[in-house]
Amino acid sequence: MHYRSRPDGSHYPISRREAMTDLSGQRRAMDKQRLSMLKTLQNPLLFANFVKKLDRLNPDKDIDIEIIDRSLEVEEAENDIKSKHHDIVVEEPKELNYKAAFREDLEERGIGNVKVQNLIASDPEPLSEHEIEEVAGALNTRSDHAVKTDKALKAPLTKDVRKWSKHPERLDIKTVDDIPKSS
């Protein structure tokens, strides 16, 4: 049997149905509170990662964790620290964006096709400078006639850019030299 309390401290019985709806309402309120906590820096894991990031970006400074408003979400906390503490770095410098820099380097070498860039980046064994030059050469030295012939003939598809750069006439890379599907 379930009971509800009166303001004077005495109790009275309530139905099982009323008790269940009351408990589910309390659970929903607790779930909403826990969910909102998970998004903010009150979440211990988020807070620990945020502090590690600040320490990594500011190795020469001893940052007092009391300056961090734990009721905020990560982006809000970064903006808060930026506005109040101008000497603390809270974002990765733009030059540390390795992926964008890698893609830019590949484009400068003549590898502008995104699919080929992805294959080079995802290769389990990184390509050497010489192999990257071979891929760029295979992409850029093929005549229009060779590309059209490649698209017309079906060659086996490969995801290995090393093999393709050595024999672009015998192998195809999807989206580079296979037949585009018409819509």
With helix as H, strand as E and coil as C, how does 89-117 read? CCCCCHHHCHHHHHHHHHHHCCCCCHHHH
User: CB atoms < 10 A from the CB of 83, how many?
Assistant: 8
The model carries a pTM of 0.43
Taking the CA atoms of 51, 52, 53 and 55 in sequence, report the sign of the dihedral they define.
positive
Contact status, residue 115 vs residue 173, Cβ threshold 8 Å: yes
Cβ atoms < 10 Å from Cβ of 65: 11
Share above pLDDT 90 across residues of the chain, in percent, rounded to a whole number? 15
Residue ranges for the chain with pLDDT beneath 70? 1-2, 19-33, 35-36, 94-97, 175-183
The string of pLDDT tens digits covering residues 36-73 is 677 888 888 889 999 999 999 999 988 898 999 989 99
E strand segments, the chain? 2-5, 11-14
pLDDT of 183 reads 41
Of 166, 107, 169, 106, nearest to 143 by C-alpha is 169
Look at the alpha carbons of 74, 75, 79, 82 in this order and tell me if their dihedral is positive or negative. Answer: positive
